[in-house]
Chain A
Amino acid sequence: MKTKALLILIIAASVFAGCKKEKDSGTVTINLKYSVDGVLLEFDTMKYNNQAGNHYSVTRLEYYLSNITFYKSDGSFFKTDLIQYVNARTSSTNQMVFNDIPNGNYTGITFNIGIDSAHNYTYSLPTTTENNNMLWPEPMGGGYHFMKLEGYFEDAGSTPGFATHIGTNHCLVNINHPENFSVKGNDNNLTLTMNINEWYKNPETYDFNTDGGYSMGNMMAMMKIVRNGSDVFNQ
């Protein structure tokens, strides 16, 4: 009996101590959303207009996010090594949970759309069906598609498809997303919303008719998309 009582005491004490000690890190959950100029994206409907005046729909949006780095107000940062495959149509891929983000006041996050050169080679990622479908063929440089954005646009009475694909190391998109939040051992939610139209404007207007509805293998077109892409999550 005596030993039992002692045991209970020890357990209780340790639980108590555990509660008292404040956690020095918290959880940050990032949720990804999609819009076209402020209106939530709806797939498969011909109802959007980009800056060039192309009337278009979206049928597919897949991409990678990587090198997600959290910046504190004192200039220090916390870098994660996740490479996240995202399919806008599959909700489970649109949420990333980071445990153990150090406590502190944060001013923003940076990340890449795509995969940095250290990891952008064929079969560097686990061989899942999704990753394998994103492979960028060896004869075109190898690695993975950074993004596949596809749909249809209206062109003089017909509706050809467009396929905005980017890949190869030149085409890594750098995102700097200012946002103030603080982590104090708690759960935090951040929402990032990609404005599809931003791929096709700012700084350069992209026109499916003149720039090409199909960007893969067309470095000029891909670089234009990449330059436009740096603020897709900020507008």
Chain B
Amino acid sequence: MKIKNNYLYVMSVFVALIVLLFACKKKDSDPQGNDWGPYKPTPYQINVPVGFPEPVIPEFNKMTVEGVSLGRYLYYDPILSSNGLSCNSCHIRSLSFSKQLFVTLAGETKSIPPHVNLAWNPDFNWTGSEPVLDNLCLGDFEPEFFNTNKDSLFYRLSKSTMYPEKFYKAFGIKDINQLSYDELKQKIVYAISQFMRSMVSGNSKYNNFIHHTAMMTPSEIRGFNIFFTEKGDCFHCHGGDLTTDNSFHNTGLDANPTSFNMGRYNYTGNPNDIGKFSTPTLINIELTAPYMHDGRFQTLEEVIEFYNSGVHNTSPNIDPIMTKPGKEYGLGLTPMEKADLLNFLKTFTDTSFINNPEYFNPL
């Protein structure tokens, strides 16, 4: 298009110059006058392993390199609590970011779940009580966990030598003290969620085997065949690359579930949900004992024996997969088949995940 009005042209160049001048003069600095440069976070791309679906990243908390980095520091830092706890106190890296047990104020014993491939989870906690990862950890500031002291949190974060800059780089926040407590907690939780979404495991022997880039021993293959045929029939719930169908099932742990054992019912109030729990990932299952929502089984041998002979067929809403004809008396696995299944379950271990320096404690 031809600009006919030369006057307009000259004027707009002039205005643009003035704007530019002001922009250059304005410094990106905190109240102490530190110069952190422009707020320009770098988008973070999750490295999606072959065979995985696309991860679920919410629009309101897009991942950035700076956000993931801030989240990693906060994940390991007791600065968030008034009792010395950090996320890492209950989610320990060598245990695939899980830990044994936690007893709630209500007296329920819970097995602490691992953090692995959370970017693909549509629901969190054993009963799926939290559908949004970015909201889940808000509960951690409560007395039951961090017992966070608001004033001390503001004071320590804003006086820290690194956090003001990290909050600026991740979220463009120039002065933490200008935030409300709720806003501050929200940003902390967003950053930690970004870090947790960056924790991806797709390199177990199992994952490599199904994509033809690793071999298994004959025993592991026999176990694989039990797992992935009607013989053991584990695959309907623990199949695919993620080893979870991301759904809820009653596997028949209790004949008459009460209290925490009522599972998802405690969250939805729907009688059809009594006894149902979220299918856990089996990635790194070797590292995350004890097992089941309440940690009732100490070893994988006990878990296998449960599926083999301990299923309560009359439990309400027991999954149809668990009560197939011919299996009324269990799976009927021989001792060797049980050993094969155990060896196969250990192929879910991904040491490259727990040893990935990107997830190490940076402090």
Contact = CB atoms under 8 A, between A and B. Distances in A.
B320 A138 contact: no
Contacts of A90: none
A134 to B, nearest CB: 9
Contact of B51 (A127, A139, A140): A127
B241 A132 contact: yes
Interface in A108-133: 123, 127-129, 131-133
Contact of B245 (A59, A133, A152, A214): A133
A123 B245 CA distance: 16
Contact of B53 (A132, A158, A161, A213): A132
Contacts of B326: 214
A161 B228 contact: no
A135 interface: yes
Contact of A139 (B53, B228, B314, B319): B228
A137 to B, nearest CB: 4
A36 to B, nearest CB: 18
B239 A213 contact: no
Interface residues of B, number: 32
A214 B229 contact: no
A216 interface: yes
Nearest to A43: B272
Interface residues of A, number: 28
A26 interface: no
Nearest to B247: A133
Interface in B300-343: 313-314, 318-326
Q: Main SS of the interface on chain A? A: mixed
A13 B210 CA distance: 60
B240 A133 contact: yes
B147 interface: no
Contact of A161 (B54, B247, B322): B322
A95 B113 CA distance: 37
Contacts of B51: 123, 127, 132
Contacts of A128: 53-54
A150 interface: yes
Nearest to B321: A163
A143 interface: no
A66 to B, nearest CB: 20
B74 interface: no
A136 B91 CA distance: 34
Nearest to A131: B53
Contacts of A187: none
Contacts of B247: 133
Given A129-B120, A214-B230, A162 B320 contact: yes
A183 B72 CA distance: 58
Contacts of B44: none
Contacts of A132: 51, 53, 239-242
Nearest to B239: A135
B113 to A, nearest CB: 19
Contacts of B323: 160-161, 213
A53 interface: no
Interface string A136-165: 011110000000001110000010111100
A131 B247 CA distance: 14
B321 A161 contact: yes
- Across the A-B interface, the 8 shortest Cβ-Cβ residue pairs: A161-B320, A214-B324, A137-B228, A217-B230, A132-B240, A160-B323, A150-B320, A161-B323
Interface of B: 51-54, 120, 122, 210, 224-225, 228-230, 235, 239-242, 245-247, 272, 313-314, 318-326
Interface of A: 44, 59-60, 123, 127-129, 131-133, 135, 137-140, 150-152, 158, 160-163, 212-214, 216-217
Given A123-B51, A133-B239, A139-B229, 13 more contacts: A129-B246, A137-B228, A137-B239, A139-B228, A140-B228, A160-B313, A161-B318, A161-B319, A161-B324, A163-B320, A163-B321, A214-B320, A217-B230
5 contacts: A128-B53, A133-B245, A137-B235, A139-B224, A160-B313
